[in-house]
Chains A and B, each alone.
Chain A
Amino acid sequence: EVQLVESGGGLVQPGRSLKLSCVASGFTFNNYWMTWIRQAPGKGLEWVASITNTGGSTYYPDSVQGRFTISRDNAKSTLYLQMNSLRSEDTATYYCTRDHGGVMDAWGQGASVTVSS
């Protein structure tokens, strides 16, 4: 069974940093791209970052480019999202997803991030 388990969420002040982790199991992690998707409270879905299966390339939307960094440790089957210079508009539930050609075919339970003073 494919499982994605996020951790590291919480309350953080504007301008500070937070790092999310996602431990994967039930599939060969290093065969898949991975992607973070977020959802602000009561809102829709927003793509945050993607990383190739080897970690050699990463992709971001303009809204987080230069502030967020996606990375992975294939030996540990773990995906990360380093979030710096956090803003109130980054408040959301962050989902770790398995990315199969741009299609998110498995989702974690989500990690809640609240940016507030």
Chain B
Amino acid sequence: DIQMTQSPASLSASLGETVSIECLASEDIYSNLAWYQQKPGKSPQLLIYYASSLQDGVPSRFSGSESGTQYSLEINSLQPEDEGDYFCQQSYKFPWTFGGGTKLELK
């Protein structure tokens, strides 16, 4: 199985700051990487697919990038509604696997 190592497990940042979340795949997943946001008490929602493509309706302050087997989610100009959990997921091969998640809190 492909392991997705996500970091950090938690982070705290202030309004307007820029933060970055990383996911390291245990093997090449050829950009087949999605990012999801889960707000408290809600279902996850797709933010980014294929490493860097923004899902319709997602604010442009969210962006994704890749370098080898390392994938990053960057959130610019943090807003109050960005608080929640973030997960990466590889869809290169079964079983689909997720990173452990990052809890983002606003100071």
Interface residues, chain B, with chain A CB atoms under 8 Å away: 32, 34, 36, 43-46, 49-50, 55, 87, 89, 91-92, 94-101
Partner among B43, B94, B95, B98 whose Cβ is within 8 Å of the Cβ of A109: B43
Bound: A35/B94 CA distance, A: 12
Interface residues of A in 17-57 (CB under 8 A from B): 35, 37, 44-47, 50
B interface footprint on A100-114 (CB within 8 Å = 1, 0 otherwise) = 111111111110000
- Residues from chain A with a CB closer than 8 A to the CB of B99 are 44
Q: Is A95 an interface residue (CB 8 A)?
A: yes
Query: What are the 8 closest A-B residue pairs judged by CB atoms, nearest first?
Result: A102-B91, A47-B96, A107-B43, A61-B95, A45-B98, A103-B49, A44-B101, A103-B34
Partner among A95, A102, A105, A106 whose Cβ is within 8 Å of the Cβ of B96: A102
- Residues from chain A with a CB closer than 8 A to the CB of B34 are 102-104
Question: Does B44 lie within 8 Å of A107, measured CB to CB?
Answer: yes
Interface residues, chain A, with chain B CB atoms under 8 Å away: 35, 37, 44-47, 50, 59, 61-62, 95, 100-110
21 A-B pairs in the complex with CB atoms less than 8 angstroms apart: A35-B96, A44-B100, A45-B87, A45-B98, A45-B101, A47-B98, A50-B96, A59-B95, A61-B95, A95-B44, A101-B91, A102-B34, A102-B96, A103-B49, A104-B89, A105-B46, A105-B49, A105-B55, A107-B45, A108-B43, A110-B43
Question: Does A103 lie within 8 Å of B91, measured CB to CB?
Answer: yes
Closest residue to A45 on the B side, CB-wise?
B98
Bound: A100/B91 CA distance, A: 10
Bound: A115/B49 CA distance, A: 34
